[in-house]
């Protein structure tokens, strides 16, 4: 719908094993790829304070906007990521 934008999810919760999160996101069938940030490098670099935390980058890679997402209605009826 918006070809000029690319969307990616980054999963940075270190208390959830990568195998579990991979299975969860495959089941959730999100319309964008989700990357595993196992060592929190990206979260730390961007100063992400909570999850979910959204960032919009400009054409040169600069942060154009950032905001915390408090409700994701699409996930409410989907699978939960719990052990």
pLDDT 10s digits, 4-56? 788 888 888 888 888 898 899 899 888 888 889 888 998 899 888 776 788 88
Sorted by sequence, the CB contacts under 8 Å of residue 53 that are 6+ apart come out as 46, 66, 67, 68, 69
Average of per-residue pLDDT across 63-77: 66
The answer, yes or no, to whether residue 60 has pLDDT greater than 60, is yes
SS3 27: helix
Neighbours of 11 (CB within 10 A): 20
More confidently predicted of 69 and 28: 28
What is the value of pTM for the model shown? Answer: 0.65
- Would strands 9-11 and 63-68 be described as parallel, antiparallel, or unpaired? unpaired
**Cα–Cα distance measured from residue 58 to residue 83, given in angstroms and rounded to the nearest whole number:** 37
């Amino acid at each position: 719908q918006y070809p000029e934008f690319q969307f990616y999810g980054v999963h940075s919760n270190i208390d959830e094993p990568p195998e579990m999160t991979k299975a969860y996101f495959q089941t959730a069938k999100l319309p964008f790829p989700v990357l595993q940030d196992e060592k929190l490098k990206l979260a730390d670099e961007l100063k992400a304070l909570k999850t979910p935390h959204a960032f919009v980058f400009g054409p040169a890679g600069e942060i154009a906007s950032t905001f915390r997402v408090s409700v994701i209605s699409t996930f409410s009826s989907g699978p939960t990521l719990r052990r």
